[in-house]
Amino acid sequence: MAQITEVAPDLFRITTFLEPFNLQVSQFLVRDAEPLLYHTGPRALFPAVREAVASLIDVRTLRWIGFSRFEADECGSLPEWQQLAPQSDAVCSLVGKLVSVDDCLVLRPAKGMTDGEVLETGKYHFRFVATSHVPHCWESGLMFEETQRTKPLSAGSHSSTNRTRCGSENAGWQLSIASARLTA
């Protein structure tokens, strides 16, 4: 069962603890004019994540489905989400779009973002920060919410413990990358 935590206004962390692996996997939902789900989770978790999202928004209104890099825990259930929300588009790095996502995962072409590009979901603005090979994968990136300056949506959303707080042991380097890139 997924746990929902509102970590900032209209920003929800959906967390599932996988006890056999001692692993916590998280997705983020931004409730806005154009809702954004960041990280889909693997297909095995789709029913639990869908149920959690449905408790917060009508899943058919989902507009953006984003992820940090091309891995099952990040975007494995992307096709299922796109079937539920016919107007939704995947959003990822331009490298991820060109190399993997459009070729073998999405039902519709993804929006590939370049470093510094901004995605607007309504009242919130997310700046894409390319983080090639950090933590790994050359298509990696994160999205920094500029309106309220919320913790970046990024690959550091998992943990090896069953915790309920939003932070992770990786939050420090994620914030450092975002701060360095956005102020440079």
> Are the C-beta atoms of 148 and 58 separated by less than 8 Å?
no
Amino acid found at 28: F
Rounded-to-integer distance, Cα 131 and Cα 36, Å:
20
Convert the pLDDT of each residue in 6-51 to its tens digit: 988 999 999 988 888 888 888 999 999 999 999 888 889 999 999 9
CATH (domain of 32): 3.60.15.10
Helix (H, G, I), strand (E, B) or coil at 73: helix
Convert the pLDDT of each residue in 80-134 to its tens digit: 999 999 999 999 889 988 988 888 888 889 999 999 999 999 999 999 988 876 6
Question: Domain of 168?
Answer: 3-183
Buried (b) or exposed (e) across 37-76, using 16+ Cβ within 10 A? bbbbbbeebbeebbebbeeebebeebbbbbbbbbbebbbb
- C-alpha 14, offset from chain centre: 11
Domain count, the chain: 1
> Are the C-beta atoms of 13 and 4 separated by less than 8 Å?
yes
The CA angle 6-132-147, to the nearest 5 degrees, is 35
Which of 36-40, 56-60, 73-77 shows the lowest per-residue confidence on average (mean pLDDT)? 73-77
